[in-house]
Amino acid sequence: MMAASESSECDYASLVDGFMAHWGRIALALVAAAVVAKFVIGLTVRSKKIPPGPAPWPVLGNIASLAGLPHRSLETLARKYGGLMYLLLGSKPCIVVSSAEVARELFKKNDIIISNRPGGCFFENLAEYRNITSSPYGAHWRQLRKVCASELFTQKRLDSYKDSRLQEISTSIKELFEQSKDKGPVNLHDWLHRLLSNNLTRVIMNDRYFGTDEKGIRGAKEFERVTALMFAQAGDVVLSDFIPYMWFLTKLQGKPQLYRKTREIVLEMMSNMVNFPERKKLHDEGGSTGRPEDFVDVLLSSTLADGETPLPDDICLLLLMDMLVAGTDTSATTIEWAIAELLRHPDQLKRVREELNSVFGPNQLVTESELDNLPYLNAIVKEAFRLHPATPLGLPREAHETFQLQGYTFPKGTRLFINQWAVHRDPAVYDQPQEFKPERFLEGPEINIAGDTQYQLIPFGSGRRNCVGLPMAQLVIRLVVAHLLHSVDFALPEGQEPKDLDMSESFGLAAPMLHPLMVYATPRESAALY
């Protein structure tokens, strides 16, 4: 029996060896064929009149160029291939803009043409292309943008919530001191996220939603978790988005189901936060909440592009999601980066505090009306925007017709990435672009961040599809930074030195600090005003 067993095992081993050798030869042949095909495809692609870029691999094209932190990977490639770079992502032609000069020509000549959004598994299942972020350029998108721009981000609306902003900042700073004293170092991003969320919920639903009681903290953590989840999922590289015939792999991965589950979570969360069924019933019956009109009232009174059909429930909730999610995490990220950089640069921190003291002194609260009289503080915010754009690659765009750029002709369906990370580090514009130097924005002509006439600083994007919340974000970020620097002293946990802070960013559509900034917060003299 033993001999038979040994013989059987020997035959099996031989069979396996033969099988592996056979498939090993096939695998080797496939690799060789791929290398040859890559070379041939590279020659074919280069024979066309297209911008420089890395040679694509068969089937996948240049998808590997999006590995790791895509904004960094693409910026590295741009150093070799230039400010206008061509990639083939699967079967999709794509260009990457990495310089201010190319960005200027692109938006000046082709803004409308490149204002479309490409389809994709995430937004198809999360929003069905019905919200501001993912809607194709057209009447529906213009109507949604108009509702938000004309009702939520006008100067009149911003002014009407001036007192509530100050109240929220004051309340949150008190909570920051208490949390730091009672529980040790505070996760600054979490605290900022709650402050900015409450600032928006006061506008959207006339209520401070995220308190410091158990329910409020639990709600804030859940909202932050869902926000982080959405930004991470939006940054996914989904193969079928670039190679449509590989849709079955996306299904096997469970991506559509995963994103639809996120949709359910988001819609339920938004509905619960604003008591949407009750608010809608009250509106339909002609009743009133007894409070000033808020954004929920605006949505319930708005229509689709036909001017007659009320906004469907899911679109109302998706718009609330757009405003709350986009208006909190990105602003929290920018402020966190600014504070981290100032801790690492004590001379700049000292200078900005001297400026604040010269304008306000220890006995006066920071006021919005004086923000434009703080040139160095504004320079610090701009430098934080430049060095650490909250969404370094922005959202992709797609051309809805043929267009020309830099002497090249690109077909309808070409995808575009505006690499803010690279544009903001353009050595043709910025001296020592990798360094934190707020002083650069005190020299020479004024540089704004609107992305409408200048393109060397575009943290909110540019053109028709720039961030609709820019007016509020620009105001609130400066205001919060000013209050923090005027009233709070920050210290790192014991054993940590500012020079040793990890300034790496995490992966996703947004790019917060990989390791959140943990700080002790103690009152400065002016904190008594709160």
Beta strands in 319-478 (DSSP E): 397-398, 403-405, 408-410, 415-418
Which of 495, 494, 493, 512 is CA-nearest to residue 503?
Answer: 512
For residues 295-301, average pLDDT: 94
Cβ burial 178-197 (10 Å sphere, 16+ → b, else e): ebbeeeebbebbbbbbbbbb
Q: Say which residue, 31 or 98, is predicted with more confidence.
A: 98
DSSP symbols for 297-358: HHHHT-B-TTSSSBPPHHHHHHHHHHHHHHHHHHHHHHHHHHHHHHHH-HHHHHHHHHHHHH
pLDDT band of 427, cuts 50, 70, 90? very high
Which range has the worst mean pLDDT, 115-124, 220-229, 271-280? 220-229
According to the model, what pLDDT value does residue 462 have? 94
Tens digits of residue pLDDT in 50-95? 999 999 999 999 999 888 899 999 999 999 999 999 999 999 999 9
Q: How many residues does the chain have?
A: 530
pLDDT band of 122, cuts 50, 70, 90? very high
Residues placed in the known binding site for heme: 467
pLDDT at 6 over 80: no
Question: How far is 367 from 360, CA to CA, in rounded Å?
Answer: 9
Task: Count the neighbouring beta carbons within 10 Å of the beta carbon of residue 22.
Answer: 10
According to the model, what pLDDT value does residue 96 have? 98
According to the model, what pLDDT value does residue 269 have? 94
According to the model, what pLDDT value does residue 464 have? 93
Long-range contacts formed by 63-67: CB under 8 A, 24+ apart: 63/89, 63/90, 63/237, 63/239, 63/242, 66/237
pLDDT band of 362, cuts 50, 70, 90? confident
According to the model, what pLDDT value does residue 3 have? 42
Show Cβ contacts of residue 482 under 8 Å, excluding neighbours closer than 6 positions.
356, 366, 371, 374, 377
According to the model, what pLDDT value does residue 431 have? 95
pLDDT band of 48, cuts 50, 70, 90? low
Per the rule left: phi > 0, alpha: psi between -120 and 50, beta: everything else, 90 is left
Which range has the worst mean pLDDT, 19-33, 122-136, 214-228, 285-299? 19-33
Using H for helix, E for strand and C for coil, what is the string for 111-163?
CCCCCECCCCHHHHHHCCCCCCCCCCCCHHHHHHHHHHHHHCCCHHHHHHCHH
For residues 270-292, average pLDDT: 91
Beta bridge partners of 89: 61, 92
Show Cβ contacts of residue 284 under 8 Å, excluding neighbours closer than 6 positions.
none
E strand or H helix that includes residue 521: strand 518-523
pLDDT band of 530, cuts 50, 70, 90? confident
pLDDT band of 2, cuts 50, 70, 90? very low
pLDDT at 28 over 80: no
Which range has the worst mean pLDDT, 26-35, 40-49, 219-228, 242-251? 26-35
Which range has the worst mean pLDDT, 30-44, 66-80, 82-96, 349-363? 30-44
Show Cβ contacts of residue 135 under 8 Å, excluding neighbours closer than 6 positions.
117, 129, 141, 144
Q: 388: helix, coil or strand?
A: coil
For residues 312-336, average pLDDT: 93
Average pLDDT taken over every residue of the chain: 89
According to the model, what pLDDT value does residue 216 have? 83
163: exposed, middle or buried (Cβ count in 10 Å: 0-12, 13-18, 19+): exposed
Residue 505 gets which letter from DSSP?
B
Percent of the chain whose predicted confidence (pLDDT) is above 90: 74
pLDDT at 114 over 50: yes
Using H for helix, E for strand and C for coil, what is the string for 242-282?
HCHHHHHHHHHHCHHHHHHHHHHHHHHHHHHHHCHHHHHHH
pLDDT at 146 over 50: yes
First to last CA, the chain: 89
pLDDT band of 260, cuts 50, 70, 90? very high
pLDDT at 186 over 70: yes
